Amino acid sequence: MFRYIKKHIFNLLHPTIGEVWELHRVTDEEPADINQREYEITPQRLENLIAEYKQNNFEFISVETLPDRLKNKNSKHKFIVVTLDDGYQDNLTHALPIFEKYNVPFCIFITKNYIQQGYPPYKMLQEQQIQQLAKHPLCTIGSHTLSHSQLSKLTEQQQTEEITECKKWLEELTQKKTDIFAFPSGYYNKTTLQILQQNGIRLSFAAWGGPLRKRIKYNQLTIPRIIITEKGMKI
């Protein structure tokens, strides 16, 4: 009971101002492994969600404008930032048409080795498709390391390689600055944050943590997200 009251007071003091959604695959195909459902959503469900949030006056904003919205917390509308991790090809073939239809900005976090070496059984984006997306006015390309390792388990040197190799490659490929990042599976430590800072990453995302709230000061290198799947939302 006490815990319930505490939570209630917290919610009153810190109402939600927005959410950062974390998606993975957007597909109609049945996954071979039922656990993989945790990382999938059908295009239909995604479209319904976006329509529902728009109807409720949520504003879909780009990842670049998030820092301003965090500072100016008195905005009339709540916001949603859409992000997709890893670089699945269905983000282009299945999700992009929905984002275009509803004018929803989105950010794709790409893992270099998944693109160059593949990530069976999934179809990943090709380099040329990443270039195509990078030019799209609704899309931002962010980096998601070289090999998708749990960064907090690596040495400083390994972490540096994971972060800089992917960023450099994406910048050459897209001819754009890549200063937005997401931790693979959400793992990071103090060293990770130092390396991100040294390499000019200005915004970085955790894998979970729930909605963004009023009167809470967020570290721009550990912004919480909410995982969106076919089954629902995970915080």
Q: Which residue ranges make up the site for Zn ion (CB under 5 A)?
A: 85-86, 184
Q: Residue 213 or 222: which CB sits closer to Zn ion?
A: 222
The CA radius of gyration of the chain, in Å to the nearest whole number, is 18
Q: Residue 18 or 184: which CB sits closer to Zn ion?
A: 184
- We find the least distance from the C-beta atom of residue 7 to Zn ion, in angstroms, to be 30
Q: Residue 37 or 73: which CB sits closer to Zn ion?
A: 37
- We find the least distance from the C-beta atom of residue 112 to Zn ion, in angstroms, to be 12
In this structure, which amino acid lies at residue 215?
R
Alpha-carbon distance of 52 to 159, in angstroms, equals: 40
Find all residues with CB under 8 Å of 58, minimum gap 6, and list them: 18, 77, 78, 79, 80
Q: Residue 149 or 191: which CB sits closer to Zn ion?
A: 149
Q: Residue 47 or 85: which CB sits closer to Zn ion?
A: 85
Q: Which residue is nearest to Zn ion (CB)?
A: 85
Identify the residue whose tokens are 């894998």: 207
- The answer to whether 43 and 91 have CB atoms below 8 angstroms apart is no
Q: How many CB atoms lie within 10 A of CB 110?
A: 28
Find all residues with CB under 8 Å of 92, minimum gap 6, and list them: 125, 129, 132, 133
- We find the least distance from the C-beta atom of residue 213 to Zn ion, in angstroms, to be 25
